[in-house]
Structure formats: structure tokens, C-alpha cells
Amino acid sequence: MEYILILISTVFVSNIVLTQFLGICPFIGVSNKVQTALGMTGAVTFVMVIATTVTYLLYTYLLVPLGIEFARTITFILVIAALVQLVEIILKKVSPSLYQALGIFLPLITTNCAVLGVAVLTIQKDNNLIESVFFSAGNALGFGLALILFSAIREQLELLNIPKAMKGVPIAFVTAGLLALAFMGFAGIVKM
Amino acid sequence: MNQWQNFSKGFLKENAVFVLFLGLCPTLGVTTSAVNGLGMGLATTFVLTMSNLVVSMVKNVVPDKVRIPAFIVIIATFVTVVELVMKGFLPDLYKALGLFIPLIVVNCIVLGRAEAFASKNTFLSSVIDGLGMGLGFALALTILGGVRELFGNGSLFGYKFISGDGMLLFILPPGAFLALGYLIMLMHKLKKRIY
């Protein structure tokens, strides 16, 4: 039950993109088509869950016993960068079709602040290992939900007659604002 | 390109937030007030200038293949410096900015300038570029924070000059998206006048 609550709260109530502002760059950048949004979601989910698990273990069993918690940022970003490379190499060997689909999105994930953000957040929240896994999976799903919804809306926006100065990014932000407003309706469902 | 153009391009022509759309996470996340926006902007300026400086100095030593991880380590070092200094001397700001301080590492502008500018240019132009882009970023954050604070709370830099509560929406997350959307629209309009 507790784990389901974590999932609900991370996907809907405190959605990582729309209420915490993490991962905005891909949210605005690759949300022109539903297809690319799906690819990005897959890549992020994959990397985020693995990265959070690895960084959690490293932090708890290496950095804390050694008393070097201040090296958190530098360790985490290195782990994430290395993981992204590793995932890229493994995918290329094991599943070339999936690699083709995710291909261009994988390197971008290193600088996706949602991945580092979730790794740091789960430490700040004092989650245990299983909670961390659910927390990262929920956040990845929340990211995917927001991204796919948003790209579906943007596909429709292309067809509309929008004032010239609003075209492109400005209207995307206003749309995102309205989407965030809708997600505020979930506030208070789960107390975390 | 002379050094003055190199410095000033970050403010309007290649402004990180309004024109290049880089570094949007901290832009939206911390700008609930003008002071927070300014603090975040200056912290990023420091990291950007210092990382540009170091990257431009080591650019001939670092092998091409490992250049991105090397740049990330350099950036992460300066972010840790900012984190510790802010925790020690500005605890209130540190609390307000929270998660977004370690996230300066993955701010696309910092790595972007290291890769696109500092790894190809001299020491002096890299520092000037870092300062210009950073201060332009700080300016954008302060403007956005100011607008949100003004509409949401009726105050600016903490000085309240409109009585009443203001529109809470602008302090809440949706307001960040709306305010930035309309500000970018204004920039599009203004750009035609200026050039």
C-alpha cells in the first residue's frame, strides 16, 4: 500500500515536470511529436531507475561510511554519465532495434536534470532502497505522462492559427502552464 | 568579434533563457521571488565563469574522447564550492534554492558554453563569455522572479508596495510557465523593434 502511495504521489500529486520543474529541457525540446515523446520516456525510465538505485547504494555504503557526503554531486553526475554510456553500449549489442529507437535520446539524458534531481531527492527524503526504486519509477512515469500528454496537445496546436509572436515556444509554455494548473487538482490526495 | 560584443551578446542577442531556451529548470523552479532569481543567477554566473576559465586552460591537455566527462568533473567541482560556501554564509538562500544548487551541474548553459566556446577559444575571451552569458542568465531570472513576485505578492525584492494578497497563481508552479511564456512572447515582439 505504501509503495502504491509513493507511485500515485510521484506520478500525479507532485509531478516531477509540472510541479517540481525538473526535466524541462526535454519537456519543451522533444515534445513536438508523440512518437519521439514515447522514445524519450522509455530512455529516461530505464536510466532513472538504474541510476537512482546505483547512486543510492553508493551514497549509503560508500560516501556515508567514509564521511565524504560533500562529494555527492560530483559522484552522482559521474555515475550517471558512466551509466548512460554503459546502457548505450549494452543496448547496441543486445537490442539494436531499441537502440535505434532510443539512439539520439540517450546521450541527452546525462544533462537531463530530472535524473540527477531524483537521485538527490530520494537521499534527501531518507527513503530506503525499495522506496527509492518505487520513487524513481514513479517519477519516471510522471515525466512520461506529462511529456506524452503535452506532445499530444502540441501536435494539435500545430494546426491552429496562433498570433505570430506566440508561435513556437511561448504558446508551449502557456499550454504547459494550463496543464500544470490541471495537475494542481490532484494536490492533497496523498500527504507525503 | 571584439570583447565588448563577446560580453554583451549574453544579455539580449543570445540570452540563455529568452532566446536559446537553455537552463529552464532552475529558471522556472527558483524564481518565486526576485531575490531568489538573482541569487541563483549569480551562483550560475560564478560556476560558468570559473568552468570556462579552467576548460579554456586545459583544452589542449584533455584528450578529445574524454572531454565531456572531464568538463563535467570541472563543473561539478565548482558547484560543490558554491554549495558549501552558500550553506556556510547564506543559509536562508541555500534553503530557498534547495535542490537546484546541485542541479547547476546539469544546467545546459554551463556545459554548453564549455563545449561550444571555452574549448575553442582563448583564456580571456572564455572568461568574458562566461561572465556575459552568466549575467544575462541572472538578468533573465531576476526579471522572471520580479514579475512573479510583483503579481503574486505585490512586492519587489521583498519591499511590499501594493497592499492585498496578489494572485497566488503566479507564485504557484503554473504561474512560472505562464509568466515565462508571456515574457518570451514580449521578447519576440521587442526583438523586431531593436534589430
- Looking at the complex, does the CB of residue A103 fall below 8 Å from at least one CB of chain B? no
DSSP state of A62: I
- Who among B108, B169, B188 is closest to A25 (CB)? B108
Highest-pLDDT range among A171-185, B3-17, B146-160: A171-185
Q: Which of residues 59-98 of B touch A (CB under 8 A)?
A: 68-69, 72-73, 76-77, 79-80, 83-84
- Interchain pair B24, A25: CB under 8 A: yes
A85 burial type by CB count under 10 A (0-12 exposed, 13-18 middle, 19+ buried): middle
What is the ipTM for the molecules in this complex?
0.83
Distance CA A182, CA A178 (A): 6
**What does pLDDT average to over chain B?**
86
- Interchain pair B188, A170: CB under 8 A: yes
* Cβ–Cβ < 8 Å for A95, A74: no
Convert the pLDDT of each residue in B145-170 to its tens digit: 999 988 888 888 877 777 777 788 88
Burial A44-78 (b: 16+ CB within 10 A, else e): bbbbbbbbbbbbbebbeeebeeeeeeebbbbbbbb
- Looking at the complex, does the CB of residue B51 fall below 8 Å from at least one CB of chain A? no
Instruction: State mean pLDDT over B83-94.
Output: 90
- Interchain pair B80, A178: CB under 8 A: no
Chain B positions in Cβ-Cβ contact with residue A78 (cut-off 8 Å): 69, 72-73, 76
Distance CA A181, CA B54 (A): 43
Helix (H, G, I), strand (E, B) or coil at B165: coil
